[in-house]
Amino acid sequence: MLKALQQTYLAVFRHYPVLVPLAIITACGELVYAGINNYSLPLLLQRQGRSLGLAQVSEVGLVLGYVTSTFLLSETLLRIPFGRLSDRWGRARLIALGPLVGAASPSLLANVSHYTWIYPLRVVDGLGAAALWPSLFALVGDRVDRAWRATAMSVMNMIYLGAVALAPMLAGLVISGTRSYRAPFYGASGLLLAAGLVAIFWLGRMRPASSDGGEAEPDQGQAAARPRVLWQVAVMLAITFSQTFAVIMLAPFLVLYASAELGLAETRVALLFVGPAIGVALLSIPFGRLADRWSREAAVKLALVAAAAAMWLLPQTSRLPLLMAIATLFGLAYALGTPAWFALLSDIAPESRRGRVFGSFGTAQGLGAIAGPLVGGHLWGLAHHYPFYASAVTLTLSALLAVLALRPHAPSPAVPAPDRGGLGGHV
């Protein structure tokens, strides 16, 4: 049992020690972004709204929506430029730059005199996130062999999701312990500073064993294959946008639907998230290893089909055990498909363009995340079950597109950038 656990969960860290600082940076970064977006900032506006210039309680929701959109727009629009910059300047430099540039922003957020000052600070937060995430995931693709890429991506994905889940709880504990709604913001600044220092003093000094995981292939036939690569990238961009649009469309309405339409108490609504959380936590890395050994394309196709099926089933039942089972199926589909998807991106993109590729896909995700709640809100106003069926239709189309268009793809050859020296020169 222990041997199997070690082989499944620890072997990837033993083979690729660069994942250790990357995991720490991922945890620190997403604890900050998720904590501020989903807990600390909404609570600060609610509790301190009048002192920040909000005359009515009803204005809190409107301002919160706008400042959240400001962060998302900033991150979405800047991902491609920062991804391109990481290709030229070095991944570790951008991974360090993102947290360090934004380290002061949370502390400043806690001390603004008027809510309008939140908007430029949220732009800075988006800038930091845009510099961090494309470079981080591109670096995983650079430094991990193709045979282990989905496993490595599953590690990052599991830590990312764990931080999303833990951030509100940790922020709540900090508030409870300090009795201050501003304390989590100071802690967030400390986490970003820690992430930047890890990037400088640990990640930036690690040398790769060889370029692109040591699996570079000769550059024969690449010109002939270029149209096929561009077509596959276009298909994957469409799928990225549509699946993000479909999932985020439902995010603001899940709790409302479960309580208003199904009559579930708030404590029972929380049970819907238990199954997916446990499934993702326990099976992310084994599923990533399965995708590595089986097929990334097949894993993505199966995951999208399962997610679409779960979404069609969700509005068809009102029994909590069945709802939990359906939600768990959706979570397992996510655990299987997401690492395989990121690994597939790494396979298609050559090392010299991997940053801009991940930046482009991050932008597609961001656009889907922005459009989803807007469309979902209009559909919710028509009928409460409409967003679920719209999401199911979109996921079904994504699954069909994946089944028909995704084909096995040989890894792109490494085209290493010249050694720049110093931080980021070897990473």
Over the stretch 261-316, which tens digit does the pLDDT of each residue have?
777 765 566 566 666 777 777 778 888 888 888 888 999 999 999 999 999 998 88
Q: Compute CA distances 13 → 19, 133, 139, 339, 423, whole Å.
A: 6, 20, 15, 16, 22
Which of 196, 148, 77 is closest to 342 using CA atoms? 148
Give mean pLDDT, residues 43-71.
81
Q: How far, in Å, CA of 119 to CA of 64, rounded?
A: 10
Report domain extents, the chain.
Answer: 9-207, 224-414
Tell me the pLDDT tens digit for each residue of 211-258: 444 444 444 344 444 666 778 888 999 999 999 999 888 876 776 777
What is the per-residue pLDDT for 169? 83
Structural contact between residues 349 and 297, judged by C-beta atoms closer than 8 angstroms: no
Which pLDDT tens digit goes with each residue over 113-149? 999 999 999 999 999 999 999 999 999 999 999 889 9
Closest CA to 362 of 3, 169, 80: 80
Q: Say yes or no to pLDDT of 1 above 60.
A: no
For residue 144, which phi and psi values (nearest 5 degrees)? -115, 135
What does each C-alpha distance from 210 to 107, 110, 215 come to in angstroms?
40, 44, 9
Do 9-207 and 224-414 have matching folds?
Answer: yes
**Of 178, 177, 132, 163, which Cα lies nearest the Cα of 37?**
163
Which tokens go with 109?
A: 């957020």
Contact 43, 341 (CB under 8 A): no
Quick one: which of 42, 40, 61, 68 has its CA closest to 370? 68
Angstrom distance (rounded) from CA 322 to CA 220: 53
User: What pLDDT, on a 0 to 100 scale, did the predictor assign at position 216?
Assistant: 42
Domain 224-414 belongs in CATH node 3.40.50.150: no
Per-residue pLDDT at 349: 80
What kind of fold does domain 9-207 have according to CATH? Growth Hormone; Chain: A; (1.20.1250)
Q: How far is CA 304 from the centre of its chain?
A: 17
Rounded to two decimals, the pTM is: 0.79
Q: Which residues have a Cβ under 8 Å from the Cβ of 170 and sit 6 or more positions away?
A: 31, 35, 184
What are φ and ψ of residue 413, in 5° steps? Answer: -70, 150
Does pLDDT of 15 surpass 80? yes
